[in-house]
Amino acid sequence: MDEGSSLNIIFTDSVEKMKISLSGEHKSNVGSHGVVEGRPVCPLESIELEVLFGDESNYLSETIQFELVPFQSGYHAILGKPAYIKFMAVPSYAYLQLKMHGPNGMITVRGSTKTAYKAEVANVELAEAALASANLTKIRKRIGPSEAELPQKPRPGPVFQLAKQTKKF
């Protein structure tokens, strides 16, 4: 859930796991800032998916437009303001709940703090790996290719020798 986002986002690995074939016909014409810190994100494609909340006795179903972004995440998708407006849903971040009126009463979608924590840990690990890779690329550009290679043979270091005044305890 991202109440501040003006986009509904889905990640390429989520689309692959759902075995959705991409046509490439619906090129995205939006760009976004804030998804990846300090970098603009240009979605690959806009796709529409049917999203359903509730159960067989009380449910809401709407077609939601998602922007497909080309990177991994600990999440499968992120619902933003457009989805909340379409479902007339109210998110509660403190309780990890999403509430909306269904045809037969209130529909409450409850999140899991364990799952949310695992997703955040995965996102931190992905961000750290991306940052390390970007930093390594910058370092290699700065020092040149010959200096970036590690030496083949370790250099001989000093040999440890006991001093004459050493006392055993």
CA distance 43 to 152: 43
Q: What share of the chain is helix, strand, coil (3-state, %, to 5)?
A: 30, 30, 40
DSSP letter string, 9-39: EEEHHHHHHTTPPP-S-SB----EEEEETTE
Residue pLDDT, tens place only, 41-86: 666 788 899 999 999 999 999 999 998 888 777 778 888 888 999 9
Res 39 pLDDT > 70? no
Burial class (CB in 10 A: 0-12, 13-18, 19+), 16: exposed
pTM of whole model > 0.75?
Answer: no
Res 148 pLDDT > 60? no
Res 97 pLDDT > 80? yes
Instruction: Please give the helix or strand (H or E) that residue 110 lies within, else none.
Output: strand 105-110
pLDDT at 42: 65
| C-alpha 71, offset from chain centre | 7
Strands 77-78 and 9-11 come out as antiparallel
Mean pLDDT of the chain: 77
Q: Record the tokens describing residue 153, joined without a space.
A: 């043979």
pLDDT at 50: 93
pLDDT at 144: 64
Residue pLDDT, tens place only, 12-22: 888 888 888 87
Using CA atoms of 67, 70, 74, 78 in order, give the dihedral in degrees to the nearest 10: -10
